[in-house]
Structure 1
């Protein structure tokens, strides 16, 4: 069953974050991940959520998503993200195919 990584990213240092943004797609692709949304316009219809830069990445399954997030390839980039942004990240399983 597919799984989604959903991130709300508040960039605090764009110069540093640009390195992360350039390099991270290749690491995700190695684990079957691909972008569904990456920083486009967002509109809140209900609630008090004030999203920043939203990102949604689809992976083949939760195991692949977790393997990517915990991978040595992503560890270095995660440190760059920690230095250049504040993030909220969740993983969510999709629904079974109809």
Structure 2
């Protein structure tokens, strides 16, 4: 069953975040994920939205999503994401 990671970022240090972004594609392509959306100017439909960036990623399974997130390669670049932003993310199941 497909799963989706939905993440929101508030970027406060663009140069640090850019270092994360520069290494992201190379690490990501090693896993079975599909980047569905990256948006820094979403249309707010309800409530308040003060995050800088929104991302939606699809993986074929929870196992593959967690393998990506916990991989040594991803952990090495995520230090730049953590230094340059605050994040909220969830993993949700797709419909069968």
Q: TM-score, normalised by structure 1?
A: 0.88
1:93 paired to 2:93: yes
CA distance in 2, matches of 1:58, 1:29: 12
Task: Check whether the contact 1:33–1:60 (CA below 8 A) recurs between aligned residues.
Answer: yes
Where in structure 2 are the equivalents of 1:64-79 lying within 5 Å? 64-79=64-79
**How many residues get paired?**
96
Match of 1:54 in 2: 54
1:41 paired to 2:3: no
Match of 1:20 in 2: 20
Distance 1:49 1:16, change over 3 A: closer
CA distance in 2, matches of 1:40, 1:52: 6
Q: TM-score, normalised by structure 2?
A: 0.90
After TM superposition, what 4+ stretches of structure 1 lie above 3 angstroms from structure 2? 48-51
For the aligned residue pairs, the C-alpha RMSD in angstroms reads: 1.4
Task: Check whether the contact 1:42–1:51 (CA below 8 A) recurs between aligned residues.
Answer: no
